[in-house]
Structure 1
Amino acid sequence: MFRSHTCGELRSSDVNSEVTLSGWVHKSRDKGFVIWIDLRDRYGITQLVFDEERTDTDLLEKARTLGREFVVQIKGKVIERTSKNPNIPTGDIEILVDNLVILNKSLVPPFTLEDKTDGGDDLRMKYRYLDIRRTPVKNNLIFRSKVSMEVRKYLSNEGFIEVETPYLIKSTPEGARDFVVPSRMNEGQFYALPQSPQTFKQLLMVGGLDKYFQIVKCFRDEDLRADRQPEFTQIDCEMAFVEQEDILTTFEGLTKHLIKEINGKDVSAFPRLTYDDAMKRYGNDKPDIRFGMEFAELTDVSKHRDFGIFNSAEIVVGIAVPGGSTYTRKEIDKLIAWIRRPQIGAKGMVYVKCNEDGSYKSSVDKFYSQEDLKVWAEKASAEPGDLLCILSGSIKETRPQLSALRMEMAERLGLRNPEDFAPLWVVDFPLLELDDETGNYHAMHHPFTSPKPGQLELLETDPSAVRANAYDLVLNGNEIGGGSIRIHNKEIQKIMFKHLGFTPEEANAQFGFLLDAFQYGAPPHGGIAFGLDRLVAILGGQETIRDFIAFPKNNSGRDVMIDAPSPLDQEQLKELHLKIQS
């Protein structure tokens, strides 16, 4: 056998035991008369010792040949360390080695395999198999496995059945671009990789499997934004004979279970906000409610003076930054420069210092009285010592800009504690969104989402007013899950397709299989999908999903380790009936 114990297992109770260990050489310290080597595996580090008094000369010389990351097997006796190391679990013991086998040599790694490495992102991605040996990355992957196991445990106990759905499916025009796969045996035809198993899980409900789940890989060929991956993992779920409340209750339970089992925290409150309220109070549909700074709409109380910027604005809105009145003019100017960056796009900012003595100092003192500023402060629930930050302009642009400022100020003030968990549901989304460029409507979630009860008729008269029977689960300012009650009636689904611009022929060509299935007793059903990558990162106290993916792509969607995507040779192209235009 290669090992009797792991490198993180031995303790003082094992002293005098004969053991066999295998692992990687982490560090070597040669003092001439004695050599210490740290041997590492997935489970930890054990110190090995070779010395002139107790070690055979040939063995001592062999130990001197070991380089970093050599793979070795040793046999020896567990002895008590003279100088104990309280920083590692095995720090009370070491192994006096009497046999050493070099299983494989190693080149010198291109970066240090320590918790804090000297390797940049690109270098570590190129040698990801080495990066995984580092404790933070290794622990993140173990953590991800633990979360996945808890998900399976909870859903299985709730009666859910895990079912695998196909990866080679049909391309559809909805949502992001599909990754397409040419069919060798069907010339000129293509599969698509699934953006989600949406239609298949609905068909499983028609098939009578009334509680389904799957931890599934999904694919989207979209322009990559920060911390997005072209392939990602979902916890995909569907239930039959349910209403929205049943879904919310079930998956509140899953979220509570994960936070308790993984983080040891109890979460009881899952507030619910309508989409309209979330946009009005926080400027986005995934608000972080671990802190305040809610929006104060000041439009009605700011347009009675001769200040043209506010008078011409569709909306005037502000937030009260705790303790911000101590900011100097230079610090405020830097803040204004921050929101004027292209990524935010604000044209400027009005500020009001709420002084401790109850007076106010603003950048618009020449236009507004102390009484005016007091009214603004009261509307924003600003306390003495706070700074009121005010933006104005169109609703569509100004609310997201102030939302970005709110999050930035919370980050600077240390209000986003990763050890605190504040979930909430956002409900009652618009069913349809109007595309300003084309003038056409598209589904805000997907075309299978049901309108809220009693609102179907509005599709004909006022499509933008129709609310979706949809819901998003938000945790610490991140959407971790989203779903809806589905349409399960063929005629209603056809109406929905019509409002999305499908002709009957197009709808039948794309989704005829689903429409046909609805004719055979489709039950009421609904579901949700969690983004596992994001959920794991948040539970792990981080927001970068790449750190929790074994082999992630870079910001350009490339795998720099295996150099993919890559060209095909001419013979492969010919077999696939493809011709690359030069």
Structure 2
Amino acid sequence: MLKTHNCGELRAGNIGQRVTLAGWVHRRRDHGGLIFIDLRDREGLTQVVFNPEVSSDTHTIATGLRSEYVIQVIGEVSKRPEGTENRKLPTGEIEVVASTIKIFNTSKTPPFYINEEVDVDEALLLKYRYLHLRRATMRDNLLLRHKVIKYMRDFLDSRGFIEVETPVLVKSTPEGARDYVVPSRVHPGEFYALPQSPQQLKQLLMIAGIEKYYQVARCFRDEDQRADRQPEFTQLDIEMSFVEEEDILVLLEDMFTSLLEKVTPHIKVIKPFPRLTYAEVMDRYGTDKPDIRYGLELKDISSIVANSEFGVFKSAVQNKGRVKGICLTGCA
């Protein structure tokens, strides 16, 4: 291994240890004779100090370091001088005094800041996606996704489900969007369709007697992109045999509430989930996916507008329809 520790794990208990770290130069500061860098890897940041009195050769090399250089340093973990601790950083009590440095790779000046969460044009972020993924927010998103998927797998495994990977190259099946098609080399003029969901395949598994199936499934749908529509996406796909509606509702509520409590304990979870019928949510909110956090329910104002001069309202009431509105306190 090219490092003995990661950049997020060193603490006061490691003081006096000789360690090897490797990662990216996150920030560099030159304070006269001393050079400080924040060294970054996937797990966090560690401050590294280059002191010419410890190693003049290492200090000389460090003068040429710039952001996003990939380096390895060997040094001793020391307590930071009093008053210089960084309480916002898990490793903020210590620093590594470098005695050896090796530059694995230099770096051109990045097209946008990696160490600052400033707004950047989306096209530029996508062009340099590998740099964008170095930002802390993107790294944290990937780690959160990993933890969520791992928890769901463990949860379902403990309840007797088995994970089955269904085929991706299949025949076209009726769904709500158009298929992405893949031409077949061995069957000229014939095409595979990428699955919009594993719906029919998981039903075959139920017929085969699998009983409890799940899959973290990749799905593909050729439709116009919107905020909640992407050409490819991942979904947790579940199928069960010999169950009733209540069994499914209880299973999923238990999974989601326990997942949030375990993976994101800072998020408040309402238990049990409120249960609303389709007719009820359409009557109270006018949509089948209401955000019930704000209490913005529709109120029947038919009696108020029945004699209104606004013809749309008046005719609706006269034709035995109803007029509803949302009350926004203080917004009049």
Normalising by structure 1, report the TM-score.
0.54
Match of 1:117 in 2: 118
Identify unmatched segments of 5+ residues in structure 1.
328-582
CA contact (8 A) 1:298 1:318 kept: yes
After superposition, where does 1:243-392 map in structure 2 within 5 Å?
243-264=244-265, 265-313=268-316, 314-324=321-331, 327=332
Match of 2:92 in 1: 91
Match of 2:149 in 1: 148
CA contact (8 A) 2:177 2:221 kept: yes
Greater shift in the superposed pair: 84-93 or 184-193: 84-93
* Cα displacement (A) at 1:173: 4.2
Pair 1:42-2:49 in alignment: no
* Cα displacement (A) at 1:307: 4.0
Match of 1:208 in 2: 209
Match of 1:574 in 2: none
C-alpha offsets along residues 248-276 of structure 1, whole Å, 9 cap, x if unaligned? Answer: 12212112221221233453222222222
Pair 1:62-2:65 in alignment: no
CA contact (8 A) 1:5 1:21 kept: yes
User: Which has the higher relative contact order, 1 or 2, with Cα contacts under 8 A spaced 6 or more apart?
Assistant: 1
Partner Cα separation in structure 1 for residue 58 and residue 203 of structure 2: 65
C-alpha offsets along residues 268-290 of structure 1, whole Å, 9 cap, x if unaligned? Answer: 22222222221121011001111
C-alpha offsets along residues 54-113 of structure 1, whole Å, 9 cap, x if unaligned? Answer: 222x32211111121111111111112112222211111111111111111111111100
* Cα displacement (A) at 1:25: 0.7
Match of 1:4 in 2: 4
Partner Cα separation in structure 2 for residue 16 and residue 263 of structure 1: 35
Partner Cα separation in structure 2 for residue 302 and residue 323 of structure 1: 21
SS of the counterpart of 1:169?
coil
* Cα displacement (A) at 1:309: 3.1
Partner Cα separation in structure 1 for residue 274 and residue 31 of structure 2: 62
Gap change, CA 1:322 and 1:55, over 3 Å in 2: same
Partner Cα separation in structure 2 for residue 127 and residue 193 of structure 1: 28
Q: State the AA in 2 paired with 1:59.
A: T
C-alpha offsets along residues 297-340 of structure 1, whole Å, 9 cap, x if unaligned? Answer: 2235532455423122354211111333xx4xxxxxxxxxxxxx
Gap change, CA 1:305 and 1:7, over 3 Å in 2: closer
CA contact (8 A) 2:26 2:115 kept: no
Q: State the AA in 1 paired with 2:54.
A: R
Partner Cα separation in structure 2 for residue 293 and residue 48 of structure 1: 53
* Cα displacement (A) at 1:138: 0.3
Pair 1:24-2:42 in alignment: no
* Cα displacement (A) at 1:226: 2.5
Q: State the AA in 2 paired with 1:280.
A: D
Match of 2:179 in 1: 178
* Cα displacement (A) at 1:118: 4.5
* Cα displacement (A) at 1:115: 4.3
SS of the counterpart of 2:323?
strand
Match of 1:74 in 2: 73
Partner Cα separation in structure 2 for residue 234 and residue 151 of structure 1: 11
C-alpha offsets along residues 468-526 of structure 1, whole Å, 9 cap, x if unaligned? Answer: xxxxxxxxxxxxxxxxxxxxxxxxxxxxxxxxxxxxxxxxxxxxxxxxxxxxxxxxxxx
C-alpha offsets along residues 201-235 of structure 1, whole Å, 9 cap, x if unaligned? Answer: 00100000000000011000001112532100010
Match of 2:200 in 1: 199
Partner Cα separation in structure 2 for residue 60 and residue 123 of structure 1: 35
SS of the counterpart of 2:276?
strand
CA contact (8 A) 1:259 1:267 kept: no
Gap change, CA 1:25 and 1:308, over 3 Å in 2: same
Partner Cα separation in structure 2 for residue 28 and residue 292 of structure 1: 50
After superposition, where does 1:529-544 map in structure 2 within 5 Å?
none
Gap change, CA 1:166 and 1:195, over 3 Å in 2: same
* Cα displacement (A) at 1:293: 2.2
* Cα displacement (A) at 1:120: 2.2
SS of the counterpart of 1:224?
coil
Gap change, CA 1:257 and 1:74, over 3 Å in 2: same
CA contact (8 A) 1:34 1:52 kept: yes
Match of 1:221 in 2: 222
Match of 1:132 in 2: 133
SS of the counterpart of 1:257?
helix
SS of the counterpart of 2:216?
strand
C-alpha offsets along residues 345-402 of structure 1, whole Å, 9 cap, x if unaligned? Answer: xxxxxxxxxxxxxxxxxxxxxxxxxxxxxxxxxxxxxxxxxxxxxxxxxxxxxxxxxx
Partner Cα separation in structure 1 for residue 111 and residue 308 of structure 2: 65
Percent of aligned positions with the same letter in both sequences? 51
SS of the counterpart of 2:125?
helix
Gap change, CA 1:118 and 1:242, over 3 Å in 2: closer
Normalising by structure 2, report the TM-score.
0.93
